[in-house]
Amino acid sequence: MGAITESEWRYNSLIKDFPSEAEPAFESEDQLTRWWGRNWGCNNDVGRLRTVLMHRPGNEINIVDTSKRLENNAFGDVQEGWYWRGDEAPDLAAMQAQHDGYVAALRAEGVEVVFIDKAAPGRMKTCYTRDVVAAVNGGAIVMRLGPKIRRGEELPATRTLASLGCPILRTISGTGIAEGGSFCWLNKNTAAIGVSSRVNDEGARQIEEVLRSQGVELIKVPLTGYRLHIDGLFVMIAPDLAIANFTLLPYWFIERLKELGISLIEVHHEDDGAIVNSLAVAPGRVMMPEGISDHTMRSLRSHGVEVVTIPYDKVIMGGGGLHCSTAPLIRDEV
């Protein structure tokens, strides 16, 4: 080997004086605000909601053909992959009016609402933005949705995040499948994911990989039967409080929640399943669909929870509620 040249010596000296810096971490507030413009991401599900991603139902809904009726009062086409859970044809104007009302209610709470501008052709469930994006410390994970009717929602969401300047920390790839409706924060150090037909082990592993680098534990909760998402069974509404359907949650998970200091409000049997699918806009302040039973409302109020009710039945007919229709991008810490 020959002696080092003068230019190499000068270059080495320069590199020594200007080393790479691993600290502070990418997701630190200073780094995010300095280089990405905002303190992106969430490490909880109940802090003051600052920014949320939504999509106003549009012409993509018109793919529903009511001549194609399935069992259980639904419409769909197995070959094409679309389905509509309601027993009536979708009323786009009514859906838009209710969605607009929800957006107005969020803005009244001081929430910045940003929109996916245009759904991919025929992706009739794009308004349920929760499933395509999950916010974590420092940015977002873009999911890979499971069924045929939802595959393809990922690109418009990705383009929207990029236009906002929101870091994308992972896109679920390979054979991984994951949907954000089955991901939730329990506290800043602990998250959970419901494993089901919409979240497989590989999808959960990829999410866990992102969280592990941030020191966050991911609890994997196998869901029963054909249950799709954990947010139909369990939603955090305050730092130490959640609303839940006890009959559908595994006993061991309920016990783990107790160990974490999380109390549960059980929804009454009179309540529709969409009642659990609610959204905390601040600690103990929750938006819920109209139709809550008196029993559940009393339980909420006894725990000091403030409830804002939203008419949303026309959107719920499509298979998703208030929680499903929002993908938080920024929340305050609690």
User: What's the pLDDT at 72?
Assistant: 73
Identify residue 63 by its one-letter amino acid code.
I
Q: What is the DSSP string of 10-78?
A: HHHHHHHHS-----S-TTSHHHHHHHSSS--B-S-SSSPEEEEEE----GGGGG--TTSEETTTEEEET
Q: How far is CA 82 from CA 97, 187, 226, in A?
A: 23, 36, 17
In this predicted structure, the answer to whether residue 2 has a pLDDT above a threshold of 70 is no
- 79: region left, alpha or beta (phi > 0 left; psi from -120 to 50 alpha): alpha
Domain architecture of the chain: domains with CATH: 39-331 (3.75.10.10)
8 A C-beta contact, residue 193 and residue 182? yes
Position 65 confidence tier, pLDDT thresholds 50, 70, 90:
very high
8 A C-beta contact, residue 204 and residue 217? no
Stronger pLDDT, 272 or 126, i.e. the higher one: 126
Q: How far apart are CA 6 and CA 178, in angstroms?
A: 54
Query: What percentage of residues in the chain have a pLDDT greater than 70?
Result: 99
For residue 24, say if its preceding peptide bond is cis, omega within 30 degrees of 0: yes
Name the most confidently modeled range: 2-11, 192-201, 264-273.
Answer: 192-201
User: What's the pLDDT at 4?
Assistant: 83
Stronger pLDDT, 191 or 226, i.e. the higher one: 191
User: What's the pLDDT at 1?
Assistant: 54
Q: Which helix (H) or strand (E) holds 7?
A: helix 6-17
Identify residue 3 by its one-letter amino acid code.
A
User: What's the pLDDT at 225?
Assistant: 86
In this predicted structure, the answer to whether residue 57 has a pLDDT above a threshold of 60 is yes
Stronger pLDDT, 207 or 87, i.e. the higher one: 207
Structure tokens at 65: 């053909």
Position 87 confidence tier, pLDDT thresholds 50, 70, 90:
confident
In this predicted structure, the answer to whether residue 86 has a pLDDT above a threshold of 90 is no
In this predicted structure, the answer to whether residue 10 has a pLDDT above a threshold of 90 is no
143-175 pLDDT per residue, tens: 999 999 999 999 999 999 999 999 999 999 999
Radius of gyration of the chain (CA): 22
Q: Which residues contact 103 (CB under 8 A, 6 or more apart)?
A: 54, 56, 113
252-298 pLDDT per residue, tens: 999 999 999 999 999 998 888 899 999 999 999 999 999 999 999 99
Mean model confidence pLDDT for the chain: 95
User: What's the pLDDT at 71?
Assistant: 78
Position 103 confidence tier, pLDDT thresholds 50, 70, 90:
very high
In this predicted structure, the answer to whether residue 100 has a pLDDT above a threshold of 90 is yes
Q: How far is CA 297 from CA 28, 165, 260, 306, 307, in A?
A: 39, 39, 25, 10, 8
Q: Which residues contact 33 (CB under 8 A, 6 or more apart)?
A: 39
Query: What percentage of residues in the chain have a pLDDT greater than 90?
Result: 83
